[in-house]
Structure formats: C-alpha cells, structure tokens
Structure 1
Amino acid sequence: MTTSLQREVKQLMYGEGASAAGFIILWGITAVINEEARSYLLNPLYIVPLLTICIILAAGSYFWSIMNSCIKEKRPVRLTAAQRSRFAWLHRLIIIAMITATILMVINLPVSQPLLLILIYSFMWLEYINYFHMRLSYLSPREFKQLLIHRKPARSQLSRALRSK
C-alpha cells in the first residue's frame, strides 16, 4: 500500500527525470526541424543554460530516488558519503555552468533575443535555488499558508539532507 507521500515522491522522481530528458529531446528535435530556430538553439548562449537546467532536474530526480528508497525502507534521509560527494560534485558543476551561462548572457545580451533569454535564465536560477537552497514550490494550500504565516521559506529537502549528519 503506497501512501500519498510515496506517490508524491515517486512522481517527483520520475517527473524531474522525464523533464530533463524531455527538454533535451524537444530542444534537439526543434533544432533539426525548425530552420529559423536552429541558429538560436545551437548557440552556446542558449545551450549552456538549457543543459544546466537539465543537470539540475537530473540531480533532483536522483535526490527524489534516494528519498523514495528511504520512504520504502521507513528510515530517515541520511545521505551516504558517496551520495554527499556526488551532490557536491554536481553542485560545483552547476555553479560553474551558471557562471558560464551568466557571462555568455552579459556578453551577448545586446544582440540576443532578450525575452527567450530572460525566461531560460530565470528558470535556471529558480530551479537552482529550489533544489540547493530554499523550497520555492508549495504543492498544497496548507504548505502555502504556512509560508505566509511564518514569512520564511523552508529549506529545500536536498539542502536539509546535505546539512544533516
């Protein structure tokens, strides 16, 4: 018998992984099919933040798979040394990619499509903050009400797991 928490975590695990793969597949298909979009889609200015988003989503999927195992085994979330090391490596990779993406954006902003850039970069930064720092997504009205009452966003699940010993 699966609980609502198990279903939610499983949906997050598969949803984040499918989103990461889906973004890359959709991006690639669009670049092949649409000649007008190809010049934008094959430009590092757009590729770097897209790949960064996909890495963040894949890291999220990996974390939710760990969480799913913990829920199945009815044990608290305690990351192993190897898992901590993987997340530290992923975190460094994401920071480097975000810095690279931001530098590319600043250099190319005057000649780029600003709306598309703003959307991609906003999503990239929001996903990073949502996974590695504070929770930005609140799924139920009760959770959102708690945010309004306490006026302090909660730490993300991954952030809490990385801080616990």
Structure 2
Amino acid sequence: MSKKRMHNKVKKKLFGLFTGEWFAALMFAVLWVLYLYLLEGFEVYLTSAPSLYAFVMLEWILLQGGFYWFLKWRQVRNKSSSNLPDHQLRLFAFFKKSNMFLIAIGMLVLIYQCYVFAADFYWFLFLFSFAVIEHINYYHIRLSYMSVEEIKELLGQKGLRRSLLAKELKKYHGRLKGKRGAS
C-alpha cells in the first residue's frame, strides 16, 4: 500500500473515531432528554442525583476520548509527529487524574446505592460501569476492537494491549522523570 493511501486510511479512521465519540456523547444527551419528556415513569431513573452523576461522568469521558482522537486526526492531517506534544499530554494526564477522582466518588455513590438499593440502582450501575470501561479503554487497556482485522489481531496476540493514549502518557511521564533526574 502506498504512503499516501495509508495516510488517507489512517486519517479516515481517526476522523471516524473522534466524530463517533462526539456523536455518541451528543446522542446520549438527546436521548436522555427525549426519554425524560416522552416516556412516563423514567423520571425516577433519569433525574436522581446518582444517575445524573454517572451520566455526566460518562459524557465527560466520551468527550475526552473524542478530543484525543481529534488531536490525533489533526496531527495526521497536518503530517506532524505521531505523538501529542507535551502540553496536550499534560492536559490528558489531568483528565486521567480527574477521572480517577470522579470514579472514587462514584464508588462511594455505588456503596450508598447498594445500601439503600434505590429504584435507579441498576441504571446507575450500568452508567457508572460504562463510564469506568470507557476510562479504562482510553487511559489503560484498549478494549474496543471494531474491524475484522482488529479482532483477528486481538485473537492472535497474547493478552490485551495498552491503549494508544496510555502509551503516550507513559512516555510523557518518563520524559518528566528524566528532566527531574537531570536537575
């Protein structure tokens, strides 16, 4: 495959990834509002504080994922280096820490939900789990495989791979440690 064709293929894939994440975040919000206004009986699930918390956390993480893929797409489109610059990786390191904080709060909410077993328990559990899985998918281990080629690759490898963002953040943290050690 020629370089130009490969470049266009990568650019197209990255475009699909970032628009897909942002479209999902938008559609989840639209569906949330539609269910709230059109379907009676869903208010208890959609307006409870725990469910709203998990939903906002999920949306926040999806937007981060879309932003990451947008930045990668922009790099490929501009034919710049394959790794994000340090100032952008610093932002994603902050996002990762903020997500961990939100997940910790969510765990406390989950414990509370188990204790009171409110009507929205399973809905909260679904949304919270979805958000945690998305966080893991971006910041730790790649969990999403969409094409047949990717699934074949997954089956042929031993174990799951680190996500692309996790690899970039590891290199970034290594450079920071190197700079601190040199000082």
Q: Which runs of 5+ in 2 are unaligned?
A: 173-183
Letter in 1 for 2:156: I
Q: What is the aligned partner in structure 2 of residue 48 from structure 1?
A: 53
Superposed displacement of residue 114, structure 1: 4.2
Q: How many residues were matched structurally? A: 165
The letter for the 2-side match of 1:130 is N
1:81 to 82, 86, 90: 86
The letter of the residue matching 2:138 is Y
1:49–1:98: 8 Å Cα contact kept in structure 2? no
Aligned positions of 1:1-165 closer than 5 A: 3-109=8-114, 110-165=117-172
Q: Give the superposition deviation at 1:105.
A: 1.8
Unaligned runs of 5+ in 1: none
Confirm or deny: 8 A CA contact 1:131 1:158 kept in the other structure.
Answer: yes
Superposition TM-score, scaled by structure 1 size: 0.88
Q: TM-score, normalised by structure 2?
A: 0.80
Counterpart CA distance in 2 for 1:32 and 1:140 is 36
Stretch of structure 1 that moved more, 60-69 or 138-147:
138-147
Structure 1 residue matching 2:25: 3-state secondary structure: helix
Root mean square deviation of aligned Cα:
2.0
Distance (whole Å) between structure 2 residues aligned to residue 79 and residue 47 of structure 1: 32
Structure 2 counterpart of 1:77, one-letter code: S
Q: Could you tell me the percent identity over the aligned residues?
A: 24
CA offsets 1:20-40 (integer angstroms, 9 cap, x no match):
122122212322333411122
Q: Whose radius of gyration is greater, 1 or 2?
A: 2
One-letter identity of the residue aligned with 1:52: M
